[in-house]
């Protein structure tokens, strides 16, 4: 389905709509502006509806173990307080104190942003669109194939709350294989925002017109670091929270824990840790067990693939494996940060403190969240060390994927990427 000028059209109308979009966009850019307050008001009203339970039926369709968690998160992210804080934090100040008196620096939207959203998180397409609206941009959104229709319903409701937004929102369910249509959408854009892995980003670069700004939100890696694995006082409370995090996210988010690193040289410490952690992960996995056929099919296929790799001797330096119901811990002899098999299958590796920088720097540009488990008196030192390596989020183990009002995204304030500065002589 397609959302165009506030109305729903069949996908068969795609070519006709694309053919007439440019003059419509140009007319909007020349005649209208979108005040941030108007966007905030509409989004905040939608957030209040979600918090009040108006959209519980829609949220129940989410592919999630606990839709209530998404409801609370959405209500917080869409609150007026959070949106105003985001604008103040990310776009505060537009004129340098050193600018000549005759020069005024004015912040403007890019104009038109083409959003190519990923499907690893429910609601992500609507969130990306909201950032484009907050900065006054016209937005063309290509939905991911995994979208279950919730994005279109949310966006339609937003337009119903504020009809002025219909001139700033175009939504298509175009498949990525339709390169011609995506090329046309890209030609209309001043900026292209792409969420996805290396292959997706590379594909978008190939279709981006000269001069279009590329806004890349690529896949990142998260990990947990246990600074003192021999100290049970540091582990008792936080390991259960780490297990909850892994089971709840299924390791599908960039902030999810893919690898658990222990500050040790000894493989025996890894095996001992797995014996302690497996029952906790198994309990959390049972609590957050997914009943969706898609996730069960993925898990079955992934495990069968790994079984075949083991048979032909491609077991990736496996030093041991601990299997539980719905989960497993895979001990490996190397220290590289890498993507796990996911779905509650976690890598466990050694990473002595004196090797942290040399190991993590090999993944520079891919680092995102570090869940740090350590004694309180050591936390500042380890936090500083991870920050110097390039890690952009450092949290407790249980909050690796938690949302914090005012936080940056992958080390940047996102809204700054959706605007440009214009120097004006006055």
Evaluate whether the domain defined by 2-219+410-425 bears CATH number 2.40.160.50: no
Q: What CATH number belongs to 221-399?
A: 3.40.309.10
The pLDDT, as a whole number, for residue 410 is 86
Integer angstrom CA distances of residue 202 from 119, 194, 195, 253, 348: 17, 10, 11, 20, 31
The pLDDT, as a whole number, for residue 425 is 83
The pLDDT, as a whole number, for residue 243 is 95
For tokens 């119901």, the residue is: 325
The pLDDT, as a whole number, for residue 312 is 58
pLDDT, tens digit, 9 for 90 and up, residues 184-240: 999 999 999 998 777 778 888 888 888 899 998 878 999 999 999 887 666 778 999
The pLDDT, as a whole number, for residue 69 is 76
The pLDDT, as a whole number, for residue 101 is 65
pTM over 0.85: no
For tokens 């105003």, the residue is: 84
Domain edges within the chain: 2-219+410-425, 221-399
Residues 17, 244: Cα–Cα separation, whole Å: 46
Integer angstrom CA distances of residue 355 from 125, 135, 190, 334, 395: 38, 42, 43, 12, 21
The pLDDT, as a whole number, for residue 98 is 52
pLDDT, tens digit, 9 for 90 and up, residues 11-56: 999 999 999 999 999 889 888 889 999 999 999 999 999 888 888 8
Residues 141, 273: Cα–Cα separation, whole Å: 45
Residues 99, 85: Cα–Cα separation, whole Å: 26
- Ranges under pLDDT 70 in the chain: 62-67, 92-101, 119-122, 232-234, 290-318
The pLDDT, as a whole number, for residue 73 is 83
179: Cα within 13 Å, side-chain hemisphere: 7
Residues 196, 341: Cα–Cα separation, whole Å: 18
Residues 34, 26: Cα–Cα separation, whole Å: 14
The pLDDT, as a whole number, for residue 94 is 47
């Amino acid at each position: 389905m397609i959302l165009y000028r506030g109305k729903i059209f069949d996908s068969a109308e795609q070519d006709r709509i694309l053919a007439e979009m440019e003059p419509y966009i140009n007319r909007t850019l020349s005649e209208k502006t979108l005040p941030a307050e108007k966007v905030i008001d509409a989004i905040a009203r939608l957030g209040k509806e979600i918090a009040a339970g108006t959209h519980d039926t829609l949220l129940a369709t989410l592919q999630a173990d606990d839709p209530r968690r998404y409801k609370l998160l959405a209500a917080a992210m869409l609150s007026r307080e959070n949106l105003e804080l985001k604008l103040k934090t990310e776009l505060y100040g537009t004129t340098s104190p050193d600018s000549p008196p005759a020069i005024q620096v004015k912040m403007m939207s890019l104009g038109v942003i083409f959003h190519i959203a990923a499907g690893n998180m429910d609601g992500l397409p609507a969130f990306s669109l909201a950032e484009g609206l907050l900065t006054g941009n016209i937005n063309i959104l290509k939905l991911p194939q995994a979208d279950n229709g919730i994005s279109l319903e949310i966006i339609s409701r937003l337009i119903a709350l504020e009809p002025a937004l219909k001139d700033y929102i175009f939504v298509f369910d175009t498949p990525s294989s339709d390169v011609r249509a995506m090329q046309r959408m890209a030609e209309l854009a001043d900026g292209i925002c792409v969420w996805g892995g290396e292959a997706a980003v590379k594909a978008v670069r190939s279709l981006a017109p000269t001069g279009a700004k590329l806004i890349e939100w690529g896949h990142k890696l998260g990990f947990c670091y246990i600074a003192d694995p021999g100290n049970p006082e540091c582990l008792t409370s936080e390991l259960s929270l780490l297990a909850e995090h892994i089971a709840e996210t299924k390791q599908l988010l960039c902030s999810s824990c893919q690898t658990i690193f222990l500050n040790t040289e000894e493989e025996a410490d890894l095996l001992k840790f797995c014996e302690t952690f497996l029952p906790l992960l198994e309990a959390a996995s049972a609590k957050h067990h997914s009943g969706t056929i898609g996730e069960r099919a993925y898990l079955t296929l992934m495990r069968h693939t790994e079984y075949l790799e083991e048979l032909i001797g491609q077991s990736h330096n496996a030093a041991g494996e601990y299997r539980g119901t719905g989960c497993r811990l895979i001990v490996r002899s190397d220290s590289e940060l890498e993507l796990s098999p996911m779905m509650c299958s976690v890598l466990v590796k050694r990473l002595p403190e004196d090797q942290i920088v040399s190991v993590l720097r090999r993944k520079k540009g891919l680092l995102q969240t570090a869940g740090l488990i350590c004694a309180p008196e050591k936390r500042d030192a380890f936090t500083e060390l991870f920050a110097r390596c390039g890690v952009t989020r450092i949290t407790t183990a249980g909050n690796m994927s938690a949302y914090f009002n005012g936080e940056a995204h992958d080390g940047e304030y996102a809204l700054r990427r959706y605007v440009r500065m214009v120097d004006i002589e006055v």
